[in-house]
Structure 1
């Protein structure tokens, strides 16, 4: 049986024996890692991947750390790794992984060290969670004699903290984003004065040797470091907020049209970051007034960043950066590998397709693929595309050069990621992630590393997994010679399958009850969720608890070209069947998005702001579809045939009745899944047009209908449940029709539908047909075509919403219609995609499940209390779901009569009543009859060109 969660079994590129001690070469055997006994202290797909890699390396004594959130707080959310790791002595439990504050984090670090020592573990693997970049934790592990599988504490301090990383980048000539990275120093100067640092140290009993500092900035950093070590605050979040407010005013005045990003230094993956809106987005009589309004938000945004990362405790490093937010940016990153002496890169990844700072679709960027794409564009005469690809190649080469220089400067002794933003022909260093990343597979599918004996070029071994490389570096370090990177595949792509609804909002609490097996070419990294019961081969249910991030699995594949990889990914998504209770994922979103790129331009260069306008366009499709009554439309088409001739009315009625569900069922599926509709319109935008002259088809609608069933994974398969495929009767009709047109194409000698239609419009039989036979062909054609007019409804919806105006330009940039950037429309379309739970007019329901917080932070006032009046848009509460803190605002104005939830961090469910309220205005309800009448009126507008 195929084990679908096991990366190596699913991917023939990587299935090999990794036990170096079995090699005939003494030099290769010397790099065995079998004496490693790691404790895995992370969770998610990386935990299962590490288990698989360790097993293949011959490392069998590893253990795993579980948080109570894995199995206690959320029932039935047991870590799926326990389905294969059944030895209880290798499973260790802690209340949670990192703790809620600094004191608890320190206790957790010591607890983990005790677990390691008490159970004979000699190393620690922290994956890509936040613990993997905790310099204090890494240092504590090192001091305890444990081998940390990841960058050492020196690298963590030099590169892991965003402020120090920027200082290092500037010193090494690496291009950085304009901004301010020393807010804590500025706050210190503002509070004590530059001449008062020594007095501050004395008053707080801090020992600081200022004579070793070359300037005032270094003095401030030394004083701050001493305060962190002592666990005291000489400045607090309020001081930092005020210092950054001053800087923000200057920056807002200099660039009033720019937004700015605030980033807590320990953040990552979008956490601990907030956007400060541009000055000109505020109303005001002067620029100064607008700047004041914008900058007034800085202190609260600073607090939000720190609270989200739980770094607002006494003694925490509370530094927050502020930098220019380049809104047209593409997000690219370079994989870096080093052993502390040498440093090299392994190509890039484009991670621009993201939302809420969470990556969604990631694609490889390699020199080999770009060179091939340039040649293909030039051969096709696509000059603009070729020129842009050449620029991308230069940018990639520069980023790789800088990544290696930076890695060398911070003495990187493991794997890390050099993250950049690309704006036009310029690029800027953002940060280095001192850990392996979620999307690391995108790189390792394109490149492998060859380690060669310096004394014998014929003596070597190859590492194909970056986790394997991390273990080798942790165990053998500077003994490892600098490797050569070898190409495996020119392109790879990864879709992050998340527990989100159709608007990409986190959706916790669902249960996966069935998941189809991985197909050939699919690499599914799913933490072990897909592992079947070994005795019954039955899928085991899994509860998506929502205690962590929203990721369920990583779906990957490769290709010779980017188009190849996207088409393979589309096929994986098409055939993936995922069902369960209250289950929502972004599977449909990915299917539509991948087809958007296939249909519009596979080499398109989207910015990080692409996804929300794209979702808005999809929402408009759904809104338009909601206004169409398919059964009414088909009935009107049927009646038009009956009205044409009384003597054939019964025959036409019979033909149309037999085909009704054949035509309507796939359309209903598209209407229910607007992301599928977006993908279908993208790859078929040139097949049909609807204008004043009616409908014009460039492809045979019967063949399109057949393709639509395939696109929706509704092909006929013996034994497949009828509700998931074309029905027997409809399959017979469609198969006969497809067979008829295939035979006709052969006999006419053309597959061009326009040419075929022109011939069928003539009474005279073409060569090879008798008059009688041709008459029968034309009659059969009329019968098969009857009712397919309804398929033009898709083109009508696309045209009515301007969906195809979201398009790729010759230079690979994307035109985003201005209307799609309107924030009000974006919010409205999110509600169209995911209507809020039905509520009584006197209550407010939970929009999603998660943890309920009635206040900004502990000790602060609640947002609303009983008796309070609120306006539309006022914050009512915060819900934490899948690691994201979402402020929920009032949809209308009213007064709180009763708060139904008591306490902080209370688990709530979607649709649960939270407040009893009295709205200021009575909500007008529309009757079902009025809704139906409006839909028929909208449908009639479409039918005007058909019947």
Structure 2
């Protein structure tokens, strides 16, 4: 199968003919959508998917909106979708998709309407992009006579904003997270008093029908809505910060051990959210002192949330929620579909594996899979696992019921996502995403929808794409009967491949120069990057410029069981080759993570806290690996053999020298890629024991080595570059050794390595062997085993890092050692995984590329001026990478001698000098000689672990 850029043509699970207009049934034909002519105003994988789906549906003449923000700055950064959409009349260029302010957003909306009208488009598709949940935009499209392919403005207003969604949830009996959702109302009351609302309206020339309001809260909401419409601020971010500070004071006093979450109402994808630390995490003689320290950052955090979403302009709705942050939470969501009359669900997705509020690995949660998993656990006698799975089934059923109730309440007339957090046996509604989700294919690979003629059960059509469902509902609405969901596959899993480094920090600026083709069973949604030149069949370079999100591709697999899905994903990741210039992705992270779950428990229930401790553990592996000198270790092992060889020393030396690179080269690869090491150790943690300074292999180390080369995708392949595979002479040695042991296993009638070693320790030949054959076998065994002790370094590193202490419990919960939750250790391990650029002692360099901002927001003071003294931990600047704003803290104390970057929003590159500084203390740097001596000392510890 060729690369799966055209998902609907290449995915064997999906019918190829999606043109309802060609159906023989008149009832089916009426639901054709060929008269839709959509303008696609989103970017990335969803844009390419929409292009493919519309094409398959017979919707011709669609156009796309193209922001040139990336391509103006970087070469080879133009949208890869244009490699297949070559008609320039269907590509409409804009400076940016949304604009930086409310005024610019309004202008962009009007520009999109003009483009649609001028070019004959009658519909708008926004996907999961910038304006997909913008109620103002949807209303404007509707008023302009354009068919919005997504939830209507009523649904957007009722559910799209987090505060209104929580009010609706409470009214419909849906469980919600404890917290405050009316900060703007509270700020209004604090500023004007409840009796002063009418005066406020009069003073600002706002027309508000207070008589129609049932209480003070409704009056406040009506007054605020009027101010938004008028484009004026009757309260500002400072007022809201003060109101939330007071609410936080109450909440932290009542629950001093809890953290709380601030969430701007228009946020999505983890943006516009900040964590407020628990009161008891601060030092203080009394609880009141701790609480005051805890609430101090609230105003600035509120401002950060608003700035990140660019909703701090005059007239913007600046409401920010504060909710209890449930620490053991699992993030689950329900796919909801409705047409305004009926509403139904399509199972769930577990999105708990995330970092920085950004999802990384998403897994389907279906009744069919859970029922099957319960049966398997009961058959295996895993009582605790079966009980947890039964609880998960009940929770899923409850969430699906509430999702349908909520969708009905907000008159959902498209697809949406009912997002929940699960804590033990409880669940809480967080928000509804009034749009299609990035991970929607996890659902559509498990379920399809069957639309049946109410008058004739034999007359029906089946839809397998949620984008197609959106188009159908947008075009035919309430004429569509409520469908039946049908099972396609019991499980699916999606890995988001992002432009991030080994510490999962955004890494913009790399160039993809080659990407291997998709393999059978792989569903790769890469927005067209893998499309080869149609004339030369050569891969075309693509620059990951970074003006937008970090996602490069979505990789999906399916299976009868979750284990099937994970193993298929592991194979896809093993065989994926993605190379380029200054390119960093999370491919290695996913490979290690998927194997961690395969090795530790595929049904494990990680919480949203899992990834950072896991990443910290990978850092500890890397730190231990950095302390080992493999060349020195092998030379010492070689010396031990030669010391015992006597007259045969020459032969032993030749044999050990011939095997050196065979043994060391894959270890060096694991040392370089600690995520690969994590995956390998997870799958092989029980293969070796050190017993009284002797190595006890539970698996033949030669077969172990063979599987390691395969795991690293370094198998011998004719024509493959030598740097990416086992070398010829090493392959010959390993092949001969593997063949020898397979023959020996067959003749001895056992694959148990301990039993084989026990027999080989005896001079007496077993049945079926002559004395000479047995002597030769014992000699060959000694030769093949020589030097394999070096492989034990992996077990040594795992032991030193405490790798096996992060484990899955019988009830599927995960034990996270306390040490892995230490924030200082987490930060230090991030630097181990990705060492900061080497700087002179009088410089501070950019840790990553992105947009440089010297201040919190326009009009505010810069963080540091020339001559300022700063302390360790003080903010020096903000860097925006892939639409995420990151405050960069000073690593030590010092004085700013010169600021080397002038202006706001300046593009910087990793390693670029930003400040000339004078540090308070001289930084001591280890010499190469000191580093080498330390590594030898640590390597001697490893060698001393076995005699």
Whether the TM-score (by the shorter chain) exceeds 0.5 is yes
- Whether the aligned pair in 1 keeps the contact of 2:702 and 2:737 (CA below 8 Å) is yes
After the TM superposition, which residues 519-598 of structure 1 pair with which residues of structure 2 at under 5 Å, given as runs? 519-598=519-598
User: Which residue number corresponds to residue 464 of structure 1?
Assistant: 464
User: Which residue number corresponds to residue 920 of structure 1?
Assistant: 920
- Report the 3-state secondary structure (helix = DSSP H, G, I; strand = E; otherwise coil) of the residue aligned with 2:131: helix
After the TM superposition, which residues 174-323 of structure 1 pair with which residues of structure 2 at under 5 Å, given as runs? 174-323=174-323
- Report the 3-state secondary structure (helix = DSSP H, G, I; strand = E; otherwise coil) of the residue aligned with 1:267: coil
Q: In structure 2, do the counterparts of structure 1 residues 691 and 612 end up closer, same or farther at CA, with 3 Å as the change threshold?
A: farther
Q: Tell me the CA shift for residue 691 of structure 1.
A: 4.2
Using structure 2 for the length normalisation, give the TM-score: 1.00
User: Which residue number corresponds to residue 844 of structure 1?
Assistant: 844
- Whether the aligned pair in 2 keeps the contact of 1:499 and 1:507 (CA below 8 Å) is yes
- Whether the aligned pair in 2 keeps the contact of 1:261 and 1:274 (CA below 8 Å) is yes
User: Which residue number corresponds to residue 78 of structure 2?
Assistant: 78
Give CA deviations for 1:894-946 in whole Å, capped at 9, x if unaligned: 11111000000000000001011111111112111111111011101110133
User: Which residue number corresponds to residue 790 of structure 2?
Assistant: 790
Stretch deviating more after TM superposition (210-219 or 608-617)? 210-219
- Whether the aligned pair in 1 keeps the contact of 2:9 and 2:16 (CA below 8 Å) is no
Distance 1:349 1:648 in 2: 63
- Whether the aligned pair in 1 keeps the contact of 2:690 and 2:946 (CA below 8 Å) is no
Give CA deviations for 1:377-411 in whole Å, capped at 9, x if unaligned: 00000000000000000000000000000000000
Give CA deviations for 1:777-821 in whole Å, capped at 9, x if unaligned: 000000000011110100000011110100000000000000000
- Whether the aligned pair in 2 keeps the contact of 1:65 and 1:93 (CA below 8 Å) is yes
User: Which residue number corresponds to residue 41 of structure 1?
Assistant: 41
- Report the 3-state secondary structure (helix = DSSP H, G, I; strand = E; otherwise coil) of the residue aligned with 1:42: coil
Distance 2:67 2:192 in 1: 43
User: Which residue number corresponds to residue 419 of structure 1?
Assistant: 419
The yes-or-no answer on 1:152 pairing with 2:159 is no
The yes-or-no answer on 1:97 pairing with 2:100 is no
Distance 1:296 1:210 in 2: 36
- Report the 3-state secondary structure (helix = DSSP H, G, I; strand = E; otherwise coil) of the residue aligned with 2:506: coil
- Report the 3-state secondary structure (helix = DSSP H, G, I; strand = E; otherwise coil) of the residue aligned with 1:131: coil
Structure 2 residue runs of 5 or longer lacking an equivalent are none
- Whether the aligned pair in 1 keeps the contact of 2:620 and 2:801 (CA below 8 Å) is yes
Distance 2:248 2:649 in 1: 75
User: Which residue number corresponds to residue 340 of structure 1?
Assistant: 340
Give CA deviations for 1:811-861 in whole Å, capped at 9, x if unaligned: 000000000000000000000000000111110110000000000100111
- Whether the aligned pair in 2 keeps the contact of 1:808 and 1:815 (CA below 8 Å) is yes
User: Which residue number corresponds to residue 473 of structure 2?
Assistant: 473
User: Which residue number corresponds to residue 141 of structure 2?
Assistant: 141
Distance 1:657 1:377 in 2: 49
- Whether the aligned pair in 1 keeps the contact of 2:150 and 2:435 (CA below 8 Å) is yes
- Report the 3-state secondary structure (helix = DSSP H, G, I; strand = E; otherwise coil) of the residue aligned with 1:132: coil
- Whether the aligned pair in 2 keeps the contact of 1:4 and 1:531 (CA below 8 Å) is no
Give CA deviations for 1:848-901 in whole Å, capped at 9, x if unaligned: 000000001001110111111111111110000011101111111111111000
Distance 1:668 1:68 in 2: 42
- Report the 3-state secondary structure (helix = DSSP H, G, I; strand = E; otherwise coil) of the residue aligned with 1:195: helix
Distance 1:373 1:415 in 2: 28
- Report the 3-state secondary structure (helix = DSSP H, G, I; strand = E; otherwise coil) of the residue aligned with 1:696: strand
Distance 2:213 2:355 in 1: 42
Distance 1:173 1:692 in 2: 63
Give CA deviations for 1:76-99 in whole Å, capped at 9, x if unaligned: 201101111111100001110001
After the TM superposition, which residues 327-366 of structure 1 pair with which residues of structure 2 at under 5 Å, given as runs? 327-366=327-366
Distance 1:802 1:40 in 2: 50
Using structure 1 for the length normalisation, give the TM-score: 1.00
Give CA deviations for 1:725-763 in whole Å, capped at 9, x if unaligned: 000000000001000100111101101111111111111
Distance 2:524 2:752 in 1: 40
Q: Tell me the CA shift for residue 70 of structure 1.
A: 4.0
The yes-or-no answer on 1:909 pairing with 2:909 is yes
For the aligned residue pairs, the C-alpha RMSD in angstroms reads: 0.7
Q: Tell me the CA shift for residue 60 of structure 1.
A: 1.2
- Report the 3-state secondary structure (helix = DSSP H, G, I; strand = E; otherwise coil) of the residue aligned with 1:420: strand
Distance 1:74 1:120 in 2: 32
- Report the 3-state secondary structure (helix = DSSP H, G, I; strand = E; otherwise coil) of the residue aligned with 2:266: strand
Distance 2:423 2:564 in 1: 27
User: Which residue number corresponds to residue 720 of structure 1?
Assistant: 720
After the TM superposition, which residues 679-694 of structure 1 pair with which residues of structure 2 at under 5 Å, given as runs? 679-694=679-694
Give CA deviations for 1:248-279 in whole Å, capped at 9, x if unaligned: 00000000000000000000101000000000
Give CA deviations for 1:349-378 in whole Å, capped at 9, x if unaligned: 000000000000000000000000000000
Q: Tell me the CA shift for residue 659 of structure 1.
A: 0.3
The yes-or-no answer on 1:490 pairing with 2:490 is yes
Q: Tell me the CA shift for residue 693 of structure 1.
A: 3.3
- Report the 3-state secondary structure (helix = DSSP H, G, I; strand = E; otherwise coil) of the residue aligned with 2:194: coil
Q: Tell me the CA shift for residue 448 of structure 1.
A: 0.3
User: Which residue number corresponds to residue 864 of structure 1?
Assistant: 864
After the TM superposition, which residues 620-639 of structure 1 pair with which residues of structure 2 at under 5 Å, given as runs? 620-639=620-639
Q: Tell me the CA shift for residue 6 of structure 1.
A: 1.8
The yes-or-no answer on 1:823 pairing with 2:823 is yes
Distance 1:785 1:14 in 2: 51
Distance 2:610 2:692 in 1: 33
The yes-or-no answer on 1:766 pairing with 2:766 is yes
- Report the 3-state secondary structure (helix = DSSP H, G, I; strand = E; otherwise coil) of the residue aligned with 2:879: strand
- Whether the aligned pair in 2 keeps the contact of 1:6 and 1:524 (CA below 8 Å) is no
After the TM superposition, which residues 101-120 of structure 1 pair with which residues of structure 2 at under 5 Å, given as runs? 101-120=101-120
Distance 1:645 1:300 in 2: 71
Distance 1:297 1:485 in 2: 48
Distance 1:230 1:924 in 2: 59
The yes-or-no answer on 1:732 pairing with 2:732 is yes
- Whether the aligned pair in 2 keeps the contact of 1:3 and 1:9 (CA below 8 Å) is no
- Report the 3-state secondary structure (helix = DSSP H, G, I; strand = E; otherwise coil) of the residue aligned with 2:798: helix
